[in-house]
Structure 1
Amino acid sequence: MLDDTDRRILRHYQHDATLGPAELAELANVTPATCARRLEKMQAAGIIRANRAVIDWHALGYEVEVSLRITLDKTNPRAFDEFILEARAITHVVEIQTFLGRVDVRLSVIARDMAHYQSIYRSSILTLPHIADIEALMHVAHLKSDEVLPL
């Protein structure tokens, strides 16, 4: 379980994972050795899963993001597994989520433009197995995209 010190460290770390141990320790009001030890412990426990670069897709020429809500034909007991396996192989699918309810899977797909998206859709998405229904939602704006937790 996390104590107040761990929460203080995480509160600052999640806002800027590029902080060095000394800077983070100062903000969290602990020694650098304590900070480093606590970070290692939280990483080993799986609380801190990764440090990663957040890349602006638009800066790389991707102007279109589409969210596909997919209902699978669940008459095949392996429908989910087979669908997910093949969807993971599509490089332009940047996120896959599964749900309980009418929609089974949501794919987030990026493309350079609508013609590129149409090509991905026809050659890669429509060839995925066990699709019963697809609903496409065009992303207009990201109003909040924050993984910061209230610690």
Structure 2
Amino acid sequence: MRKHSSVKEFSNFRQRVLSGKEIQPDEPTLVVCTGTGGQASGSNDILRVIKRYIIERSMGEKVKIRVTGCQGFCEMDPFILVEPGHQLYPKLSMKDVPRVVEAAVGGFVDEGLIYQDPKIPKYYHCQNDIPFFNKQTRTILGNNQKLDPIRILNYIE
């Protein structure tokens, strides 16, 4: 990214960034929570395995990774949220990562890993349908899963 020498130049750059925001990427995105709870539960290990798996299989053009802060569901850490379908894969171990990546790239849900209600035998294919989330209005953490704290373009947007 080049250096901008005026406010007007930066403003024009920002408008170009915002106009690209309307375009949804074709490839799935693996969202990994690395807030304090996530890190304590092993999300950094999960993230390393995801990166290694994608690199070893030359899948960088087929799937993206987004690292976020706390998403508010620490009880289920470490987890991966797959967008655009919002499938939540909770309490993952490092050996589960290949299955999640393959499901995301293949466009299917891994029924053995997807979120299941602990009280009743029901699987939820979309994060917004999970009882923990479906009655919430996420005012503070609402955009958190969309923002990557190390991606400068998220700050510009």
Structure 1 length normalisation: TM-score? 0.32
Bigger Rg over Cα: 1
Structure with bigger strand share is 1
Structure 2 length normalisation: TM-score? 0.32
